[in-house]
Copies of this chain bind each other. A is one copy, B any other.
Amino acid sequence: MARPTMEDVAARAGVSRALVSLVFNNSPKVSEHRRAAVLAAAEELGYQPHVMARALASRTSTVLGVMVSDLRNAFFADVIEGLESAARDAGFELVLNTGSRNPARENAALANLLSFHPAGVVLLSPVLPASAIEAAAATCPVVLVSRGSRLSTVDTVNDDGVAGSTLAVEHLISLGHRRIAHLDGGSATTAAARRKGYRVAMARHGLDPLVVRSEHTDVAGEKAVHHLLATVERREWPTALFAGNDFNAFGAISACEEEGLRVPEDISVVGYDNTSLAALKRVWLTTIDQPRMEMGRLAVQALLERVRDGRTTPARHLLHPSLVVRGTTCPPTA
Q: Among the listed B49, B95, B111, B276, which residue makes an inter-chain contact with A48, where contact means beta carbons less than 8 Å apart?
A: B111
A1 contacts partner chain B, Cβ-Cβ < 8 Å: yes
Q: Scoring A residues 63 to 99 as 1 if CB is less than 8 Å from chain B, else 0, what string do you get?
A: 0001000011010011011001000100001111110
| Identical chains in the assembly | 2
Question: In the complex, which residues of chain B have a beta carbon less than 8 angstroms from the beta carbon of A247?
Answer: 280
On chain A, which size bracket covers the interface? 35 or more
Given contacts A218-B282, A281-B254, contact A3 B93 (CB under 8 A): no
Q: With the chains together, A77 CA to B251 CA distance in Å?
A: 24
A193 contacts partner chain B, Cβ-Cβ < 8 Å: no
Report the minimal beta-carbon distance from A236 to chain B, rounded to whole angstroms. 26
Task: Report which A residues bind B (CB closer than 8 A).
Answer: 1, 3, 46, 48-53, 55-56, 61, 66, 71-72, 74, 77-78, 80-81, 84, 88, 93-98, 100, 108, 111-112, 114-117, 135, 138-140, 218-219, 222, 247, 250-251, 253-254, 276-277, 280-282
The answer to whether A77 and B72 have CB atoms under 8 Å apart is yes
Question: In the complex, which residues of chain B have a beta carbon less than 8 angstroms from the beta carbon of A250?
Answer: 280, 282
